Amino acid sequence: TREELTRSERLAAIGQLTATVSHELRNPLGTLTTSVAVLQRAGTLAGERERGELDRIQRNVRRCVRIIEDLLEFSRRPDVSMVPLALDAWITEQASDLRALSSVELALDLDCDRIIEADGERLRQVLVNLVQNAMQAVLERPAGSPPGRVAIVTAAEGERVRITVTDNGVGMDDEVRRRLFEPLFSTKPFGLGLGLALVKRITERHGGSVSISSEPGRGTRVDITLPAAGEHADAA
Ligand code: ADP
Ligand code: MG
């Protein structure tokens, strides 16, 4: 169909341009991250203010790295390297990075005693993009709204695991719901529109699926199901 063609043309264009630019940006950003970490550890910056500025630099460098990783996902070969992950423990490990995305409250409600086979780097990208979208939706609400809340919930369902990300943000209308997996579709002034396309792509490569339900003014719920590889007998 004509829509299909546009989609693959778009992906090809993104791939060519970003492969070059992203690789070029990766090295200097890596250097920056290391330099800031050295300064933070040295602790020679006297004032509260200066240390705050360093943290701010670090946060923003990380943000740039995340954008580049998302772009690279569309230009690299689609091979994944799977390792066994104890789902709940792994999500708990990601929590501090996820909370650093914004000041919106992030709750974890983890109740899945399963191991999955996953590419940890890719799955982290999925989680980061979903939580980032959820937090942004919360921050888009008008002033005076009730407390914003994002939650990650896990559950075991037979041979599969379910990861759910919910928010009480602005939600989506029909038009947005129809188009959200389209690469480069975004309603945000500076949105790349790659997040959910990437979420779908990575999830499907793991043998999983994504479903999204949303209501304008009430919030959004994203469900990801993945095959389980086994029971996680020990909590360690
Ligand atoms: P981006 O975040 O760069 O705009 P995404 O692919 O991550 O791109 O999302 C596409 C669009 O889907 C967003 O611009 C937004 O309109 C909508 N969207 C995604 N997640 C949510 C959410 N949790 N709540 C409300 N709208 C969302
Ligand atoms: Mg996004």
Average pLDDT over residues 42-71: 85
Ligand 1 atom at minimal distance to the Cα of residue 134: 23
Indicate the top mutation candidate among 141, 186, 201 to test ligand 1's pocket, ranked by most ligand atoms within 8 A of CB. Answer: 186
Indicate the top mutation candidate among 66, 182, 196 to test ligand 1's pocket, ranked by most ligand atoms within 8 A of CB. Answer: 196
> What is the spatial distance between Cα 17 and Cα 28, in angstroms, rounded to a whole number?
18
Which residue has the least CA distance to atom 16 on ligand 1? Answer: 187
Q: Which residues pair with 37 in a beta bridge?
A: none
Indicate the top mutation candidate among 180, 198, 199, 215 to test ligand 1's pocket, ranked by most ligand atoms within 8 A of CB. Answer: 180
The ligand with the least distance to the CA atom of 164 is 1
| Lowest mean per-residue pLDDT among 10-19, 180-189, 193-202 | 10-19
| Whole-number pLDDT of residue 13 | 76
Ligand 1 atom at minimal distance to the Cα of residue 198: 6
| Whole-number pLDDT of residue 204 | 95
pLDDT above 70: residue 2:
no
Answer with the residue of higher pLDDT: 55 or 227: 227
Answer with the residue of higher pLDDT: 50 or 165: 165
DSSP string for residues in 117-168:
EE-HHHHHHHHHHHHHHHHHHHHTSPTTPPPPEEEEEEEEETTEEEEEEEE-
| pLDDT band at residue 47 under the 50/70/90 scheme | confident
Which residue has the least CA distance to atom 11 on ligand 1? Answer: 186
Average pLDDT over residues 110-120: 95
DSSP conformational letter for 104: S
ipTM of the complex as predicted: 0.99
CB 139 within 8 A of CB 112: no
| Lowest mean per-residue pLDDT among 42-56, 59-73, 142-156, 191-205 | 42-56
| Whole-number pLDDT of residue 224 | 98
Instruction: List pocket residues of ligand 1, CB cut-off 6 Å.
Output: 129, 133-134, 137, 167, 169-172, 176, 180, 185-188, 191-197, 220
Q: Which residues pair with 230 in a beta bridge?
A: 115
- The total number of residues shown for the chain amounts to 236
Q: How many CB atoms lie within 10 A of CB 42?
A: 8
DSSP conformational letter for 99: H
pLDDT above 90: residue 91:
yes
pTM over 0.95: no
Average pLDDT over residues 117-140: 96
CB 210 within 8 A of CB 223: yes
Which residue has the least CA distance to atom 12 on ligand 1? Answer: 180
Average pLDDT over residues 163-176: 97
Q: 3-class DSSP state for residue 40?
A: helix
pLDDT above 60: residue 201:
yes
| Whole-number pLDDT of residue 235 | 45
Tokens of 164: 């759910």
